[in-house]
Structure 1
Amino acid sequence: MDIEIQPVTELPKEIAELEKQAVSEGFSFVGRMIEEFNNGTNKFDQQGEFLLMAYDGKKLIACGGLNQQRSEDTHGKHIGRVRRFYVLPQYRKYGVGKQLLQHLEKKAVSHFSALCLNTDTQSAAHFYQKMNYVHVANHPSYNYFKYLINSLGSVE
């Protein structure tokens, strides 16, 4: 499978199909991403932020973005927040999520020393744990965390 991952500054029209599939699984966060992007609340355009789309040929199969984590939660550290990460069900278990997350982490390392995220599904929790995210109990805004390693092999 030849997956192409692209940063975007505008939402592709195919995002509506991704949203439709996400809704059928009970997930509303792709729709929230579209709404926030269109109303300007979150365009993934602050320093270090970006939005990625993954394609299989011309078919949009996944998305994922990175925002700055709110500063009151970070105690002065530069932490990014993985947001709106979604892979079409038929592309799961084929490494698409892994490729997308690794691409996101590689882009993030120049701006952030760590990443955090929140998930409430067991399958996503298992995926993030396999990707070396650590469960954080009782944090008010995220439940998984990972320190990033720079190209010299040290923790930022």
Structure 2
Amino acid sequence: MKNMIIHKIADLGAVDITELLTESKEEGFRNIHRLVNEYKEGINTFQREDEALFECRVGHRVIGICGLNRDPYADGSIGRIRRLYVLKEFRRHGAGRRLVDAVIHMASSHYTKIVLKTDNPKAAKFYEKLGFKEKKDDELVTHEPEL
């Protein structure tokens, strides 16, 4: 889908992600709910210079979101992919790949490594298609890109 645009979000409070929140809850995912709550409470606002939150839009509609944080479980040289979600109707159209690419691009100028954790088998397959390798020996990290 060529009319998808990736933007860095400066203020999540100024972005309407109601559709993402509603659909993710219906699917049984809690990551967007956590994103909103942690942002409101100031726990995770993606505001450090080495962090970012990206949205994917089609027109005025936010169809996906993904963030980059400094990994809270490691030293400052590792970044962590956080809160990826794409609306069902836009999956398999490149939105997730473009969001992850934006995160990796930003991470490459701040971190030596990027990691993530997922307990969703479909998400795991998605990341593996993007070249991430599964890690089985770490309870805090399930995937990292192959070097």
Give the TM bin, normalised by the shorter chain. Answer: over 0.9
Q: How does 1:63-142 map to 2 (within 5 A)?
A: 63-70=65-72, 73-74=73-74, 76=75, 78-142=77-141
2:51 corresponds to: 49
CA deviations on 1:89-125 (whole Å, 9 max, x unpaired) are 1100111111111111111110011111111111111
Q: Take 2:36 and 2:76, find their aligned partners in 1: how far apart are those partners?
A: 29
Matched residue of 1:108: which SS? helix
TM-score when scaled to structure 2?
0.92
Q: Take 1:26 and 1:50, find their aligned partners in 2: how far apart are those partners?
A: 25
Out of 34, 38, 41, the residue aligned to residue 39 of structure 1 is 41
Q: Take 2:34 and 2:76, find their aligned partners in 1: how far apart are those partners?
A: 27
2:31 corresponds to: 29
Task: Report how far residue 17 of structure 1 moved.
Answer: 1.7
Task: Check conservation: 1:77, 1:113, Cα contact below 8 A.
Answer: no
Q: Which amino acid aligns with 2:94?
A: G
Give yes or no for the alignment of 1:3 onto 2:4.
yes
CA deviations on 1:16-40 (whole Å, 9 max, x unpaired) are 2210000010001101100000110
Matched residue of 1:42: which SS? coil
Q: Take 1:138 and 1:125, find their aligned partners in 2: how far apart are those partners?
A: 15
Task: Report how far residue 13 of structure 1 moved.
Answer: 4.0
Moved over 3 A (4+): none
Task: Check conservation: 2:21, 2:33, Cα contact below 8 A.
Answer: yes
Out of 55, 58, 63, the residue aligned to residue 61 of structure 1 is 63
Percent identity, aligned pairs only, is 30
Q: Which amino acid aligns with 1:109?
A: S
Q: Which amino acid aligns with 2:57?
A: Y
1:19 corresponds to: 21
Unaligned segments of structure 1, at least 5 residues: 148-154
Task: Report how far residue 68 of structure 1 moved.
Answer: 0.5
Q: Take 2:34 and 2:47, find their aligned partners in 1: how far apart are those partners?
A: 16
Corresponding pairs, count = 145
CA deviations on 1:109-150 (whole Å, 9 max, x unpaired) are 100111111111111111100111111113121111126xxx
Q: Which amino acid aligns with 1:31?
A: H
- Judged with a 3 Å threshold, the aligned counterparts in structure 2 of structure 1 residues 137 and 77 are, in CA distance, closer, same or farther, namely farther
TM-score when scaled to structure 1?
0.87
